[in-house]
């Protein structure tokens, strides 16, 4: 258990495979907090369509995903206990074609924090191309319906990290760090 304030939201952003879920799980235990991984609103829908982590998904699925995400965020903003902490994850590729969609999601998360009156910390996670490519091929990722294309991971790793434009932001390169060290750096930032 940490000395982090209650009603804290940590928003982890970075490319698929960078360690958002692993770090988020560690943070959720350490704070304590509720982990709201981006697959929280993806997997219920992904389990109903063909999804192999490589084949493009039907374009219409994203409208359904947005509806589920909005209900989850509305519940957190208005019904969750006011002293609860949350860790959000958001997979962003840095691809210019996805920028508007990613900004929309970031705005929704930032608005949720504002509506709760929560302390918000944005954490941008990055990783080197070879390391990221080796991480995305793990069998566990396929089971969780996550992206598993190593060439896409290499491309994502060299793109600029997504910046949601929030002042309270830190950046961590996870290439050579275990999740526990990334978690420790985030908690240190929260309590300092």
Q: Which domain CATH number covers 97?
A: 3.40.50.300
Rounded mean pLDDT, 104-117: 97
8 Å CB contact between 8 and 33 = yes
Residue positions counted in the chain: 192
Q: What is the DSSP string of 115-133?
A: HHT-EEEEEEEE--HHHHH
What is the tens place of the pLDDT at every residue in 7-21? 999 999 999 999 999
In a domain, 1, yes or no: no
Peptide bond preceding 85 in cis form (omega within 30 of 0): no
Number of domains in the chain: 1
pLDDT value at 177 more than 90 = yes
Quick check: is 115 in a domain?
yes
Q: Contact, 53 vs 131, CB < 8 A?
A: no
Contact 84, 7 (CB under 8 A): yes
Give dist(CA 44, CA 182) in Å, integer. 29
Is 137 within the bounds of a domain?
A: yes
pLDDT of residue 56: 84
State how far the Cα of 149 lies from the Cα of 135, in Å rounded to an integer. Answer: 10
C-alpha pair distances (Å), 137 with each of 39, 40, 42, 49, 90: 17, 21, 20, 21, 19
Per-residue confidence at 75, pLDDT binned at 50, 70, 90? very high
Q: What is the pTM of this model?
A: 0.90
In a domain, 117, yes or no: yes
Structural domain contains residue 2: no
Q: Is residue 55 part of a domain?
A: yes
Determine, yes or no, domain membership for 3. no
**Mind listing the pLDDT tens digit for each residue in 112-169?**
999 999 999 999 999 999 999 989 888 887 777 778 888 988 999 999 999 999 999 9
Reference 125, options 10, 32, 28; nearest CA is: 10
Q: Does a structural domain hold residue 66? A: yes
Domain that holds residue 101: 8-191
């Amino acid at each position: 258990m940490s000395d982090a304030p209650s009603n804290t939201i940590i928003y982890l952003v970075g490319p698929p495979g960078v360690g958002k879920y692993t770090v988020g799980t560690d943070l959720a235990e350490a704070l304590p907090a509720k982990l709201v991984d981006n697959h929280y609103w993806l997997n219920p829908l992904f389990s109903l369509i063909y999804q192999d982590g490589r084949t493009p998904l039907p374009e219409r699925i994203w409208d359904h995903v947005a509806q589920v995400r909005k209900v989850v965020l509305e519940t957190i903003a208005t019904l969750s206990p006011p002293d609860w902490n949350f860790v959000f994850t958001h997979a962003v590729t840095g691809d210019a074609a996805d920028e508007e969609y990613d900004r929309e999601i970031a705005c929704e998360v930032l608005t949720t924090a504002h509506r709760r009156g929560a302390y918000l910390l944005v954490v941008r996670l990055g990783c080197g191309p070879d390391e990221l490519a080796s991480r995305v091929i793990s069998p566990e990722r396929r089971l969780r319906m996550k992206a598993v294309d190593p060439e896409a991971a290499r491309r994502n790793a060299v793109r600029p990290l997504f910046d949601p434009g929030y002042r309270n932001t830190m950046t961590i390169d996870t290439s050579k760090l275990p999740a526990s060290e990334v978690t420790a750096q985030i908690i240190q930032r929260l309590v300092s």
